[in-house]
Structure 1
Amino acid sequence: MLLDRDGTTSDPWTRSDGAAVDNIAHALVPWEALPEALAHRTADQQIGVAVPNNLRIDEIAAMLPQLSLIAVTFPAFSDGRGFSLARQLRRAGFTGRLRASGPLIVDQFAYALSCGFDEVELPAANAGRQPAEQWQQALHRVGHRYQRGYGNGGSILDRRRAGRLTQAAG
C-alpha cells in the first residue's frame, strides 16, 4: 500500500532488480545498481533509487539532481535512521519524491511527512493490520512538536517563549 497526505495512491514506479531499465518510464533501482542505471537511462526516463536508511548523505549528494524518487528503506519501525536521512536529503536540496518504505506504524505517519517524506510504502502484512483510514486519522492526532523545523507554526518551546515575550511587553 502506498499512502500520501491524501490517502492511498497508485504507484507509477516499476522496480528493477538490476540496472536494466530499458523501456521503463519510471524505474526504481536498488542503490547498488544506481550508477549503471543512470549511465543507461534515456532522456525521457525517470530514475528512482531504493537506499538503505544508514546511507551517508555524501554518498548520494552528487546524484540528487538526476533522481526523481528516493525510497528510504526502513528495516523495522523501531529503526528511525531513515527519518534523519530524509531531513538530510531535503537539506541537501533534493526536491523529488521521497518515500519511506518498510514496516512503519500509523503513529509515525505525521512525523514521516514532517521530516520530508512525501509518501509511505507499506508491506502487505502491515497494510492489512492498519488500513488507510487509520493512517489518515493519525495525521491530525499530534498538532504540536518539541522539535524545531518540523511542520508549520514552530515548536512548543518557541510558542512558549513568544508568549512570555508578549506578556513581558504588555
Structure 2
Amino acid sequence: MKLFDLSGRKTLDATSPVSFAEWKEARQGTAISLPQDVEVEELHSYLGSLSLIVLEFPIFRDGRAFTQARSLREYEGYKGEIRASGHLLPDQAIHLRRCGFDSVVLSEDANVKDWEEQLGRYQFYYQNTVISPT
C-alpha cells in the first residue's frame, strides 16, 4: 500500500483503520473505514475523537464517497484526515482534493507522477470548494 498526499501536509496518519461495524460496536479507535451506505451524520458526536476516516470507492462509477467527504468537511466541520481507497484514477485527484480528501491509497504499481501532474493541472477554479485556496 502506498499513500499519496493530496493536501500538501506531508504528515499522513499511519493508523490502520477499523471497519465502521467494529468501531460502532466498541467505539474505540481513532481511525475508521466508512462504507457508502452510512450517513456521515451518524459520526457527528464522535468526530472530535477520530483522526482518520477512510472512504471507499468500491467501483469506479460509485461516487458516493465524494459526497461523504464534502459533507464531513462542509457540514460536519471534520478537521482530521480523510483518505480515499478503492478504484480511483489519477484524473480524479483534483476532485478528491476539492471535496476534502487529504490522501489516497494507491496500488503498488500506481504511477505517483501521474497523480502529481493532475494536481498541478489547474491554477484556479470557478466553482466553490471545501478547501481554502492555496
Name the TM-score, length of structure 2 as normaliser: 0.82
Q: What is the RMSD of the two structures over their aligned residues, measured on CA atoms?
A: 2.5
Counterpart selection for 1:115 from 90, 96, 99? 99
Counterpart selection for 1:147 from 104, 127, 131? 127
Task: Give structure 1 stretches of 5+ with no counterpart.
Answer: 15-27, 154-170
Does residue 112 of structure 2 align to residue 132 of structure 1? yes
Deviations 1:97-156 (A, max 9, x none): 11011111000011101111110112x3xx52x411111111011334342225556xxx
Change (3 A) 1:9 1:90: closer
Aligned to 1:13: 15
Task: Give structure 2 stretches of 5+ with no counterpart.
Answer: none
Name the TM-score, length of structure 1 as normaliser: 0.66
Highest Rg: 1 or 2?
1
Change (3 A) 1:150 1:143: farther
Change (3 A) 1:87 1:52: same
Structure with the bigger RCO (C-alpha within 8 Å, sep 6+) is: 2
Q: Percent identity?
A: 35
Deviation at 1:11, TM superposition (A): 6.2
Deviation at 1:96, TM superposition (A): 0.8
Q: Following superposition of structure 1 onto structure 2, how do residues 74-89 of structure 1 map, counting pairs within 5 Å?
A: 74-89=57-72
Counterpart selection for 2:88 from 104, 120, 131? 104
Change (3 A) 1:117 1:56: same
Q: Which structure is higher in helix share?
A: 1
Does residue 23 of structure 2 align to residue 34 of structure 1? yes
